[in-house]
Chain A
Amino acid sequence: MKLTLQTRDAVSLQIDAAPGQSVLAAAEAAGLYPPAMCRDGQCGQCAAHVRAGSYEMGPHSAAALPAGPGGVLLCRCLPTADLVVALPYDDAQLPRQSVPVRAAVVEALHPCGAAAVSLVLRLVPDAASGQAADFLPGQYMELRLPGGTVSRAYSLANLPNWDGELEFLIRLVPGGAFSGWLATTAKPGDRLELRGPLGHFTLDEASPRPRWMVGGGCGFAPLLSMLRQMASFQDPTPVKLIYGVNRAAEAVPEALLAELRADLPQLETILAVWQPEPGCTAFQGSSAEALAVALKTAATPPDLYVCGPPKMLDAVLAVARAAGLPPAQIFAERL
């Protein structure tokens, strides 16, 4: 269905709505964020008026409905046909999740385990964002090579900060366009174009459940950012990290994990090695297999955060489903 949102200053915004999707959910999916508080038909914050089209109103409080014909609450307004909705504020007052395009220069580049590098960029201040490295732990950015058309998405591994610093963990893929550039050409001072932050793979910080994080390859990067966030806040939520590598030498440096444990003493880590060498003391197998073993003795069903290559992700999700983890407790990001 087609929805038209008309702002008070007569700007028309066209968005799509899926059957059963509220106008609010459709707007947010389109990157528009109408003010909304309870999302439950009670507070009246998302009041608007339908000017044309048909809809149904889900459960709501009559006292929250705005006066006049077509008065609706966007969180409870379910379009049953194309709809025109008048919003009681100007276009400029309708928050958007705009995706900034920024410039940054290479600040440092060093190995991280045997198969990846850590790339540190420094943002160039601009009029829209200043010097702020503003993102949520778990989000990613698109990086474009200098002067070229090659663009790759990588998750941020550090924390949002005011110094303009961005850190990425990038797996070196033989013959890869971006990682090849990193391995052979890149040097401090090189300039890149960035688009982001992007993505919804972020912590559900309100959840009281234990957090289990499963990462494969450079899927560790967004989990590292989340763990750093928890460490920075000394978040006492129980947290377990299961990360899989092909060879033990590819594991992230122990110093990194030790740094996390200093402020996150409850952090448990399980290293799963797919091709163990003799004498390897880590879990022998995939991260999905390590998860399956751990879930058997889980006291409460955890929230699961998983990031990695498609095959690894599918295997982990299959294990989670088989263990009966509710979909709402599974947060997944495909590399």
Chain B
Amino acid sequence: MFCFQCEQTARQDGQAGCASAKGVCGKDETTADLQDLLIYQLKGLGELSSRLHRRGTPDQDADSFILYALFTTLTNVNFDRTVFVKLIAEAARRRDGLRGALEAAGEPLTGLSAAAHFAPAADLAGLLAQANIASVRAGLELVGEDVIGLRALLLYGLKGVAAYAHHAEVLGEQRAEIYAGIAHALDVLAHDPADIGLLLDEALALGQLNLTVMEALDAANTGSFGQPTPTRVRTSPVAGKAILVSGHDLRDLHNILEATQGTGINIYTHGEMLPAHGYPKLHAYPHLAGNYGGAWQNQQQEFSDFPGPIVMTSNCLIEPRPAYRNRIFTAGPVGWPGLRHIQHDDYAQVIQAAQAMPGFADTAPKTSILVGFAREAVLGAAQTVIDAVKAGAIKHFFLIGGCDGAAPGRNYYTDFADHAPDDTVLLTLGCGKYRFNSHEFGNIGPLPRLLDVGQCNDTYSAIQIASALAEAFACEVNDLPLTLVVSWFEQKAAAVLLTLLALGLRNLRLGPSLPAFLTPALLNVLVEKFGVQPITTAEADIAAALARAA
């Protein structure tokens, strides 16, 4: 096993990467090796799919499979080795299908990569014996750390793109250019590129593709559930039977709300599902009772305490405790050995569990937080914002975006929010906000100082807000009094980072630690060429941001 795809990867004695029997996330060696093999096969499958796209005859099923399969390999998504054995076999079948289609079309199958020819073993032991070929560091001695690091950046960014594209796809946003772009990136990776310039160009192209994907996801979410509006969300329980829905997938939440209508069961959101309350068509369900708990890393405590079943719809799952093992269900790409998986949107078992469990005995005193400041809501108040900036009431915007995590260094983001001066606006995105979103930040005129834009999935909305402000002030986004403060954790953040780089956005602080797969030379490129700055201390970084703006 070797894995260094997330921020919390083991860093000990100067060595970065999880390389023992079990990774920091809980992924064991068997699963990690199988994930590597699956990725290897997806490169081959993507290569063939890319050829079909170039011919104008793509295979929709294979393209959807690629998104789903890539999504299963993100951090804290799927830990179930039996799932990966099946996906590896399915990838081979689909790859053979695409070969057949190309052959039938008369396309000469020359120049294919080794990945496109790979024959996976039929059983687990055989697969594990093949895993070395697929390691993310394969070829290190030939090409060196920088190339391996850039390939990893491209691959991890691609995983994030695929995850976002999958979320959009399940809500009906299926765009040929997205599938073609993802297949192209896999095609590139299949051939083990060693040209630094080409890899950087491909990474930026992927960042550009991700902007399209995030726009599609925004269209999928708002098209399905309406434009988010500022909404107060109850954060204390009400008496009654209860189901907790975690992860990012709004479609799953919607289907659970539909399936539980009239049952008397209340639905609570957890973690990244919080912004769902801002969508009018989800908020309209009276039994969407509130939000429970905080960011993903607290789930072992929160799920233990929750008196009903839990549905995990996407990342971020961590090892379930015995206390809730039988009542946590996985959906979509998520999996853990021995946990029940929802299939075909059948929530009967979840409902049965909710009815069998005690639920909340009492209604707690009401507490609430405000969500729903996505692009339409913020731009609806654009004149107020512009006037406040012009009048000097708003000096600066800090977009604090990204994931939370357990590492103590993440206190930086709490400190940042708490120390930002009263004449600054905090825009939040992702689950990092749980560290401070219950703090009191006050208002600037009619405008709350903390505006929650949404999930990490809603980056497009934040980019639109920045672009609209730049337009209003007749300047470039980089000239706005705006600083991006990014806390990255997994591969979706890698995709977003590539998008920000592709857009040429500077004034970006990245933390809490920098990606372990980027070598000092590559980090230097990020700093020198793209203006990415590692975080220092909250006070110093706030002062530097305000000094730049002044």
Residues of A within 8 A of B (CB): 33, 35-45, 47, 59-61, 63-67, 89, 92-95, 97, 125-132, 134-136, 160, 162-164, 203, 205-206, 208, 229, 233, 235-237, 300
Least Cβ distance of B86 to chain A in Å? Answer: 9
Could you tell me the distance between the alpha carbons of A20 and B119 in the complex, rounded to whole angstroms?
A: 47
Known: A40-B10, A40-B22, A205-B338. A89 touches B407 (CB 8 A): no
Tell whether, in the assembled complex, residue A37 and residue B358 are in contact, meaning their CB atoms are under 8 Å apart. no
Digitize B409-428: 1 where CB-to-A-CB distance is under 8 Å, 0 elsewhere.
10100000000000000000
CB contacts (< 8 Å) of A160 on chain B: these are: 326
Q: How far is the CB of A301 from chain B (nearest CB, A)?
A: 12
A116–B455 Cα gap in the complex (Å)?
A: 57
Q: Write out the residue numbers on chain B whose beta carbons fall within 8 Å of the beta carbon of A42.
A: 8-12, 18, 24
4 residue pairs, one from A and one from B, having the closest CB atoms: A205-B337, A162-B356, A38-B24, A131-B356
Inter-chain contacts of A47 with B (CB < 8 A): 406, 408
Q: Name 30 A/B residue pairs within 8 A (Cβ), A-sorted.
A: A33-B300, A33-B321, A33-B323, A38-B26, A39-B22, A40-B10, A42-B9, A42-B10, A43-B406, A47-B406, A63-B408, A63-B409, A94-B301, A128-B358, A130-B356, A130-B358, A131-B357, A132-B327, A134-B327, A136-B322, A162-B352, A162-B353, A162-B356, A163-B356, A203-B338, A206-B28, A206-B81, A235-B82, A236-B82, A236-B85
Q: Contact: A95 with B300, CB < 8 Å? A: yes
Beta-carbon contact of B358 and A93 below 8 Å: no
- Asked if B191 is at the interface of the complex by the 8 Å CB criterion, the answer is no
B361 within 8 A of A: yes
Q: Are A35 and B407 in contact (CB under 8 A)?
A: no
Beyond A42-B24, A43-B8, A237-B82, 10 additional pairs, beta carbon < 8 A: A40-B20, A41-B12, A42-B8, A95-B300, A97-B322, A130-B359, A134-B327, A160-B326, A162-B356, A206-B28
Contact call B356/A95, Cβ cutoff below 8 A: no
CB-defined contacts of B82 to chain A, threshold 8 Å: 235-237
The answer to whether A38 and B22 have CB atoms under 8 Å apart is yes
B241's closest neighbor in chain A, by CB? A130
Given A42-B8, A229-B338, are A35 and B300 neighbors across the interface (CB < 8 Å)?
yes
Assembled-state Cα–Cα distance A265/B28 (Å)? 26
B355 at the interface (CB under 8 A from A): yes
Q: Which of B421-446 contact A (CB under 8 A)?
A: none
Contact residues, B247-285 vs A (CB, 8 A): none
CB-CB nearest in chain A for B300: A35
Cα distance A38–B18 in the bound complex, in angstroms: 10
Which chain B residues border A63 with CB–CB below 8 Å?
11, 407-409, 513
Q: How far is the CA of A126 from the CA of B355 in the complex (A)?
A: 13
Q: B24 contacts A37, CB within 8 Å? A: yes
A45 engages B406 (CB within 8 Å)? yes
Q: Is B467 an interface residue (CB 8 A)?
A: no
Complex Cα distance A236/B122, Å? 12
Contact B406 A67 (CB under 8 A): no
B25 at the interface (CB under 8 A from A): yes
The reply to whether A208 and B124 form a contact with Cβ atoms under 8 Å apart is: yes
Q: Which residues of B lie under 8 Å from residue A59 when comparing CB positions?
A: 12
The reply to whether A45 and B353 form a contact with Cβ atoms under 8 Å apart is no
A66 to B411 CA separation, bound complex (whole angstroms) = 10
Q: Chain B residues near A129 (CB, 8 Å)?
A: 357-358
Q: Which residue of B lies closest to A60 (CB)?
A: B12
Verify A132–B353 contact, CB threshold 8 A: yes
Contact A208 B81 (CB under 8 A): yes
Q: Are A43 and B298 in contact (CB under 8 A)?
A: no
In the complex, whether B318 has a CB less than 8 A from a CB of chain A is yes
Closest to B359 in A: A130
Contact A37 B26 (CB under 8 A): yes
In the complex, the chain A residue whose C-beta lies closest to that of B29 is: A208
List of B residues within 8 angstroms of A65 by Cβ: 408
Q: Restricting to B170-224, which residues have a CB under 8 Å from any CB of A?
A: none
Q: Which B residues lie within 8 Å of A35 (CB)?
A: 297-298, 300-301
- Flag if B406 contacts A37 (CB, 8 Å): yes
Collect the chain B residues with CB atoms within 8 Å of residue A208's CB. 30, 81, 124, 128
